[in-house]
């Protein structure tokens, strides 16, 4: 019986460790191969200040056809990635998980891309999907 309790406690510690690492790993992820992003908006703004970059905040949601198209066709484009990696900190927010942030930035549909300076002031936005070449033209002008 004593061994059973030890195994049970060890199991609980293991579950807690795995859960904790999953939570921390959610902050940084790949939205498209070759392009790192974060779900931590505060960290994105801090990094933008440190690196003198603009934050590109992508609002999306599950089961959004144009969100998936944007990630697969636009954010995977080599030229788009080069520009984003050089000049932007990319952050992603799910409108269903962060409705308050989406409301604060007046997001009414997805995908919506909001460009912020390091003070969280909006510089520009793209409401909806743009093909890679048009998107590239926009991000080069910001």
Q: Inform me whether the pLDDT recorded for 21 exceeds 70.
A: no
Q: C-alpha distances in angstroms, 5 versus 8, 18, 36, 72?
A: 5, 20, 43, 48
User: What's the mean per-residue pLDDT of the chain?
Assistant: 84
Q: What are phi and psi of 11, to 5 degrees?
A: -60, -45
Question: Which token pair is 59?
Answer: 């609002």
The predicted-structure confidence for 103-136, as pLDDT tens digits, reads as follows 999 999 999 999 999 889 999 999 999 999 999 9
> What's the DSSP call for residue 73?
I
pTM for the model stands at: 0.78
Question: Which token pair is 138?
Answer: 């926009």
The predicted-structure confidence for 26-62, as pLDDT tens digits, reads as follows 455 667 888 889 999 999 999 999 999 999 999 999 9
């Amino acid at each position: 019986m004593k061994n059973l309790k030890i195994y049970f406690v060890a199991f609980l510690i293991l579950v807690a460790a795995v859960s904790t690492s999953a939570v921390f790993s959610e902050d940084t992820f790949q939205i498209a191969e070759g392009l790192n992003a974060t779900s931590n908006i505060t960290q994105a703004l801090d990094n933008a200040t440190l690196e003198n970059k603009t934050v590109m905040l992508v609002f999306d949601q599950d089961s959004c056809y144009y969100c998936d198209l944007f990630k697969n066709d636009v954010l995977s484009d080599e030229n788009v990635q080069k520009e984003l990696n050089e000049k932007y900190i990319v952050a992603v927010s799910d409108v269903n998980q962060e409705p308050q942030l989406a409301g604060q930035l007046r997001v009414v549909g997805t995908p919506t891309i909001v460009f912020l300076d390091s003070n969280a002031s909006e510089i520009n936005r793209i409401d909806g999907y743009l093909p890679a070449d048009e998107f590239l033209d926009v991000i080069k002008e910001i």
